[in-house]
Amino acid sequence: MTTTAPGGPVAAELPFFVYGTLLPGEPNHDLFLRGRTAGERPAVLPRALLYDGPGYPYAIEGHGRVHGTLLVAAPGVYGELLGLLDHLEEFLGPGHPRNLYERVAREVELPGEAGVAGVADAGDGAGESVRAWVYLAAAAVTRSLRTGGVLIPGGRWTTGRTPGGS
């Protein structure tokens, strides 16, 4: 199935890779995801770097790995979830000059053996790759991060924050 994305292009109903405030235990997980997912599984975004932001992180293209969670929308709520996440991430449409993030389809790695509802399992226990929507920093934000941003070593946002931080 497909749905209409901001600006008119058709968006495939891919799972979502999240790496910041939407992670389990983080503030936006319950606000935006509770009751809207059919499965969640640890995942890794290869060829990406993670930068600290004002209370939330930004992933950009780079020579590293970002750790997060792959989540699958619950039956019947994909369009609602896509709209909520696009709004939260300030994604107005592909290449829009006011985007804070760009929603892009990328391969994410699923380590381990356990499958997740709605995500195909390779069955060999060696892990697999799945195509998913990822919100990467928009072009202007990426330029700023590359010149003066704070890189989060190891690509794990929750461990990249100071204790008691947001």
Contact in structure between 95 and 9 (CB atoms under 8 Å) = no
Can you say whether the dihedral through the CA atoms of 43, 66, 83, 12 is positive or negative?
negative
Could you give the count of Cα atoms lying within 13 Å of 93 in the half-sphere of its Cβ? 8
Closest CA to 1 of 90, 70, 73, 95: 73
Q: What CA–CA distance (Å, rounded) separates 37 from 83?
A: 14
Active site (catalytic) residues: 89
